[in-house]
Amino acid sequence: MRTLLAFMIVMMLSSGCIGTTDFYGKTMEVKPVATFELFDDNGDRFNLSMIDSDVIMVGFIHTSCLDECDDLTRSMNETYNLLSSQEQQTVSLLTITTDPWHDNSNRLYHYKKNNSVEWPHLTVSNINTELAMIESVWASFGTSVEISANQTESLARCSIHLMDYTVTQTVHAILIDSDHNVRVQWLESEWDSESVAADIRKLASE
């Protein structure tokens, strides 16, 4: 009898019936986000202790990215607008640049306005002293960022100067919980706003 009971418990655990939460997005290994202090699009200091929300949706873009970064920004906004006004009170949105060499606070301010969104867009104030810190932030969110030199200089979109490098990144958003642990990944290429909203509701209810 004891053997049968033990077998049933193991089967229930392995099938997700006990102690697990199924999300529509990719469930991540629960890990804390690296401590950071970045600067928002107004040039003000920003860190996660300033947010008291059940869920934070953090997107990663750079302003000279092609359409997929704008698509992610629009998708995040669309998902937020699918939530009720009460649900919106439990959620905060953030965007972190993957091109701090180019994306200063002023550039992020104009990017935010051009995309008609209101949440903070974050970067560093001094790339020489803060690069290692923002790299640790990317890593803690599972964001891959690669820099490659251009063979010929190309004009960055909405830019007044030439860029001699290209940024290749994971275009995604990560849902983190109230303890600032990473929980769910949504790639822009797989985004479904209704499903992301459902994941936000599920995470907020824990």
- Give how far Cα 44 sits from Cα of 4, 36, 154, Å: 60, 14, 31
Asked, for residue 8, whether it belongs to a domain, the answer is no
pLDDT in tens, 49-98: 999 999 999 999 999 987 999 999 999 999 999 999 999 999 999 999 99
According to DSSP, the residues that pair with 123 across neighbouring strands are 39
Determine the pLDDT at residue 151.
Answer: 60
CATH code (residue 42):
3.40.30.10
Task: Provide CB contacts within 8 A for 186, sequence distance 6+.
Answer: 25, 26, 172, 173, 174, 175, 196, 199
Tokens representing 103 are 């994306």
Determine the pLDDT at residue 11.
Answer: 43
Asked, for residue 3, whether it belongs to a domain, the answer is no
Query: Is residue 172 within 8 Å of 182, Cβ to Cβ?
Result: no
pLDDT interval class at 163 (50, 70, 90) = low
Tokens representing 22 are 């199924």
pLDDT in tens, 100-119: 999 999 999 999 999 999 99
Total domains, the chain: 1
Provide the whole-model pTM: 0.85
How far apart CA 187 and CA 115 sit, in angstroms, is: 19
Asked, for residue 15, whether it belongs to a domain, the answer is no
Host domain of residue 174: 22-204
